Structure 1
Amino acid sequence: MSYLAGKIVLSVVAGAPNNGKGQQTTETPVKKTVIRGKTYPYVSAQAFRRWWRDTMAASGAEPSPVVRVGKAEGKAQKATTQGAPILYADDDLFGYMKTSKDKEGGTTVRDSPLMVGTFLSVEPGYPTSDFGVMARGVENPVLHSHEFYTADLAAPFLLDLPRVGTFTLPGQNGSGRANYLSEQAALGVAAAAQMGATTCVFRGQSALRLPLPVRRERVAVLLEALAELTGGAKKALHYGDRVPALIAMLPMAGGVNPLGFVIDGGEEQYSGLQVRAQALRDELAAWDGEWEAPVRLGWRPGFREQVRKEFETDAADLMDAGKVVIEHPRSMLLALAGQIRDGRHDAWFDDPAR
C-alpha cells in the first residue's frame, strides 16, 4: 500500500470558519456555492490546509519562513515560503512554487503529496445574516453584518506516502515531473547529504530521498496535527472546534479513494449526513487486493448518533471480521501516527511491486 485515502467531516455549528469576498459593503459573507439552484456553504481546501499547516507549527514543527516580494503599488506581488522541502516538513508535505529572478535559478516546484478537496455541505444550507453595532465612544453608531451557518461539511483527502521526503531531480533540458528539486535554486541539498539522503529512481525519474526515519516522522506529525486541528475565521464571535467530527481512512495500493460516496449527503434534499455500510462493502469488494484492513473510522461521541447506530448495525459483519474499526478521531489518528513512527507501516513508503 502506498496511499492513505480518506474523507473528513467537519461539524460547523453557528459558525463562519471561512469568509468569502465582500462586495464593497459592510457585510462579510461566508463562502458558498449554488448547485442546481440550492445554496451550499463550503470551506476551501486552501483554508483547511492552512489550518492543518498552522496546527503543525503550533505543535512544534518548524515552519518554512515566508518571504514577500513586490511591494510597489501596481506591481505584481507574491509571497512564498522558503521553498526548502529538505529542511522544512511543511514545504515537503504541502508543496510550493517558487520562481527566482535569477534566470539560472529558474522555478522550483513541489506539488503536494497531501491532496485535499473542498469541504462542501452535505445538504443545502442558507447562511444567516447577523448584524452588530459599534456604538462605543461614537455619536453615530456604525452598523456592520456578517453571515454564519450550521452544516456538516465533507471532503476527501489523499496522502501519497512514497513521495514524502522524495524529490525528483530535473532531467536533461530541465525535463522532469512537477515535484522536482533544482539543486541550483532549492535550499538544503547539501544538508540532505548530512541527513543521510540517498539517490534513487522514483517512478521513472532520478530522485533524492531522505532517510526513512525522517519520512516516518513527517507523516506522524501530520496525523498528530489533524488530531488537534484548530483554525477558522471569526473565532471570537463563532468559536468552533475544528477537530474532525468524523474521519475515515484506509491504505490503498493506488491513488484511488473509494470513500467518496460512502460518506456524503443523502439523495433527498435536507436528508443530512449519510454513512453507507453497503456502499463501503461494495467498494471494498470492487477493490479487493488493492487495500489493507482495517478501514479506520474516527467518530466523535455524540455526533450524529442515529447515523452511527444504523452504520454499526449494517456494518456488523465488517466490524466482526476486523475490516472496519471505530474509535475516537483523536485516538485513531494518534495511534496510527505512533505505529508509523515505530516503523510498523514502512511498506507504505514504497510503491507496491506490480
Structure 2
Amino acid sequence: MFRTIIYSIIFGVILLIVTFLLGEVVLRVYNYFAHSHVFYDGSYNRYRGKPHVNLYGFKLNAGGFNDTEFIAEPDAYRIVGLGDSFAFGIVPQNQTYLTKLESKLRDRVGKVSLFNMGISQTNPTDYYTILTQEGADLKPDMVLLSFFMGNDFDVPRKPWYRHSYMLTALNYIGKVAWKVKDFAGHQPYCDSCDTFERNEYLRIEKERLDSWQYHIPQDGRYPAGKEGFFEKTVETLLRTRDYCKQQGAEFVIVIIPDELQVDERLQQDVAAAYFADTGKLPYDVLTPTRMLAQRLRENQIPYLDLYDAFRAAIPAQELYKPSDSHWNIAGNEFAAGLLADSLSKIIPNRTMLVEQRETSLSSNK
C-alpha cells in the first residue's frame, strides 16, 4: 500500500513536469507566430497595435498606432507624441487627448500635424528608441513626451517568473485576466464602466505605492539601491533632449499624475484597505513628481505638470474611468485644453517656422 502511494506521487510529479514543459513549448511556439503581449519581450513592439485592427470603430494605421496615416500637411508644424497607454488612448480615437490637442492647436495657431506614436506599457527608454527609429523620419518640429507618474520610471529588472511562459500565463490569469471587466476594443466603449473590480484596482494602486519611486527620499536622494532607477530615467530623458536638439526639434515633457496622487477619495480607499492601523498612506504621493520636476528644471527641459489642474478639478467632475488609472473622455478633453493653452504659446507663427527650418537645414549641411 505504502509503495503504491509512493509510485502514485512520483508518477504525478513526473506528469506535472511533463505537462509544464509541454505547455512551455506550446506557448513559446504560439507566441512566435501570434505574438501575444502577455509574454515578456524586451522590444517596445510587444504592445504595439496590429496594423489596421479595429479599435472602437477606428482602424489603427499601418504602423499599428492609434492615429490616421502619418502624412503631414505642407508647411504644417509637426509634433511627434510619445507615451504609453495614456498617449495611445483607451477611449475612442477621436476622444484621446492627443487627437483633441491637434484639433485645438489648429484652431489657435494654424496648420499642425500631431503624430500619435504612443504604445501601451512602454517607458522612457522605449520612447527614445521609437523616436530615433521611427519618429525622426517624420521630421518633427516638436517631440511631446507624456510621462505617466504611475509606472513610467525605468526599472531594469523583470520579475523572475517572466522567464517562463507557463508561469507568466498562470500569473496573468490569476492576477489580471479574470479581474478585468472591460476588454478594450472587444465591445462598445463604456465611459462609466469599471475596468477592474474595485478591490483589484486598489491592489494595483497599493502595488504602485510600494514601488521604489514613492519611498520618501532622505536628504533629497533615494535610498541606496533605488537611486539608480531614478538616475537612469533622468539620463534617458536627457539623451532624448539631446537627440531632439540635434534634429532641430523642441522637446517638451507632459507630467501626467497617477489618480492616486490627485484623488483624495482613492487615497482614503487605499488607506482603509491596506493601512487601517494608521488610516493614512505611508508615503508622500508627490515625492516622485517633485524630484522629477526639479531635475527637469536643472537641465532646462520644458515640462507641463498637470497635477495642480487635475487636483483642483477632481472634486467637481470625474476625469478618470472608474477603477482605472486612465482618463475618461472628460479627462482627455480637460488635458487637451490644458496642453493647448501652454503649447500654443510655444509653437512659432508660420514665418518664424520657415526661418527656423531653413536655419536648421543649413546647420545640418
Using structure 1 for the length normalisation, give the TM-score: 0.29
More strand by share: 1
Higher RCO (Cα < 8 Å, 6 or more apart) = 1
More helix by share: 2
